[in-house]
Amino acid sequence: MADLKELFAKVDGQHEEMIALWKKLVNRDCGSDNKAGVDSVGQDIKEILEGLGFAVRFHEYEKAGNMLVADYGDFSKPFIVITGHMDTVFKDGQAAERPFTIRDGKAYGPGVLDMKGGITVALTALKLLKEIGYDRYAIRVILAGDEEVGHGNSNAAEDYMKEAKGAIMGFNMETGYLDNGIVVERKGCRRYRVEIDGVGAHAGNNPQDGRSAVEELAHKIIDIQALTDYEEGTTLNCGVIGGGTVANAVPEHAWCIVDVRFRTMKGLNRVDQAFKEIEKKQYVADTKTTIFPTITIAAMERTPESVALCERANELAVKAGLSPIHPKFVGGGSDSAYLVLAGVPTLCALGLRGEFNHTVREYAVVDSLFERTKLFITLLLGL
Ligand SMILES: [Zn+2]
């Protein structure tokens, strides 16, 4: 095995270059709805990877940032996948308004943590490994352009699974955690819209002719919330409701949006079945309920293979003199779900450590840029 100490010294010799690349990736608008912005990030990363000898192609989508796929090495050998996303949650103008800045060891800027830092780690690690002639595995890099919107306007979820299928390990460079936990399990999310039609009537003249959609919804919200099962890891939240028009009319229409978080498909299926019953039920005669899912982000289900991979990764980290890592479970989703669905043992959250994703308070610990690059090099050489 290559001398890790030498490689670590090389990482330390790259600080300026790494910060410059990180800054370049942050200082541009590339929100999920800015396809041109995301695609231009893809072009820059393509150039970098081609410079390292990768063959780069894109899955092109009409209404979403394209997915970059880059291959390196001999694919008759086992291959690994390295994944992430190029889009952010931020609107245009943010890059100019609050560009990449470092204050007191923390870096700020749109997407600095989620996940331009992780991309910088991966690109730097690949560059340094290429310099020592890395050929342990073939490598496939997959970077999505619309992760933050759950691939709602593209086939990226399916394309992810197709590209990852057959890989022996997966590494997602998503946002890391301050406690050094490496994610092996994430909840999935599905949203449903509940629509209720009743019968409108004047609240004073003929209320008895009305069928209140709001009243029906009120009953059903209680039923929906009661489906939460903490032990199973399935929680439901009727987060937004609406209905009626004026106080003196029996409301003809009401609706709500339900956010469901689930650990397993079994939990999601239970909710789905229950919703069919709730749909049929009538508390207020003559009302009609329709419930339908809008978006779904798959769960990253915990597998023994991912946990074992994390344990081996920790042994390697400790042996290399790096901070210990441990398997972690989190509520928020990521594309790692698709790697696991494709049957790939996966470690997620290998990116920088920091906090407050998706807000203007988002920051990344600058030192973790270098620590995480050392960790990733260690894992690619040892696992
Ligand atoms: Zn992310």
Three-state SS sequence of the chain: CCCHHHHHHHHHCCHHHHHHHHHHHHCCCCECCCHHHHHHHHHHHHHHHHHCCCEEEEECCCCCEEEEEEEECCCCCCEEEEEEECCECCCCCHHHHCCCEEECCEEECCCHHHHHHHHHHHHHHHHHHHHCCCCCCEEEEEEEECHHHCCCCCCHHHHHHHHHCCCCEEEECCCECCCCEEEEEECEEEEEEEEEECECEECCCCHHHCECHHHHHHHHHHHHHCCCECCCCEEEEEEEEEECCCCCEECCEEEEEEEEEECCHHHHHHHHHHHHHHHHCCCCCCCEEEEEEEEEECCECCCHHHHHHHHHHHHHHHHCCCCCCEEEEECCCCCHHHHHHCCCCEEECCCCEEECCCCCCCEEEHHHHHHHHHHHHHHHHHC
How far out from the chain centre does Cα 28 lie?
A: 20
Q: Ligand 1 center to residue 125 CA distance, Å?
A: 19
Q: What is the spatial distance between Cα 351 and Cα 373, in angstroms, rounded to a whole number? A: 9
pTM of the model: 0.86
Q: Ligand 1 center to residue 86 CA distance, Å?
A: 8
* pLDDT of 1 higher than 70: no
Strand bridging mode 101-103 / 235-243 = unpaired
Please give the pLDDT value at position 347: 98
Please give the pLDDT value at position 120: 98
How large a percentage of the chain has pLDDT more than 70? 99
pLDDT digits (tens, 9 = 90+) for 46-68: 999 999 999 999 999 999 999 99
* pLDDT of 133 higher than 60: yes
Q: Does domain 4-186+299-382 have CATH number 3.40.50.300?
A: no
Query: What is the arithmetic mean of pLDDT over 72-83?
Result: 96
State the residue for tokens 């893809």: 42
pLDDT digits (tens, 9 = 90+) for 304-338: 999 999 999 999 999 999 999 999 999 888 999 99
Please give the pLDDT value at position 2: 58
Confidence of residue 152 (pLDDT cuts 50, 70, 90): confident
Nearest to 260, CA basis, from 357, 333, 184, 328: 333
**Which of 27-31, 146-150, 158-162, 366-370 has the weakest average pLDDT?**
146-150
Confidence of residue 171 (pLDDT cuts 50, 70, 90): very high
**Bridge partners, 323 (sequence order):** none
pLDDT digits (tens, 9 = 90+) for 236-272: 999 999 999 999 999 999 999 999 999 998 999 999 9
Instruction: Give start-end residues of each CATH 3.30.70.360 domain in the chain.
Output: 188-297
Q: Ligand 1 center to residue 350 CA distance, Å?
A: 11
Q: Ligand 1 center to residue 82 CA distance, Å?
A: 14
pLDDT digits (tens, 9 = 90+) for 193-204: 999 999 999 999
Write the CA distances from 54 to 45, 132, 379, integer angstroms: 11, 16, 20
How large a percentage of the chain has pLDDT more than 90? 96
Amino acid sitting at position 356? F
Q: Ligand 1 center to residue 365 CA distance, Å?
A: 16
Please give the pLDDT value at position 129: 96
Q: Ligand 1 center to residue 144 CA distance, Å?
A: 10
Strand bridging mode 346-347 / 354-355 = unpaired
Q: Ligand 1 center to residue 131 CA distance, Å?
A: 29
Q: Ligand 1 center to residue 173 CA distance, Å?
A: 9
Instruction: Give start-end residues of each CATH 3.40.630.10 domain in the chain.
Output: 4-186+299-382
pLDDT digits (tens, 9 = 90+) for 277-298: 999 999 999 999 999 999 888 8
Average confidence score pLDDT of the chain: 96
Q: Ligand 1 center to residue 175 CA distance, Å?
A: 6
Class of domain 188-297: alpha beta
Q: Please say whether the beta carbons of 138 and 77 come within 8 A.
A: yes
Torsion of CA 102, 364, 47, 2, to 10 degrees: 110
Query: What is the arithmetic mean of pLDDT over 68-82?
Result: 96
In this structure, what token pair is assigned to residue 373?
A: 């690059």
Q: Ligand 1 center to residue 286 CA distance, Å?
A: 45
Q: Ligand 1 center to residue 312 CA distance, Å?
A: 25
Ion ligand 1 — residues with CB under 5 Å?
Answer: 114-115
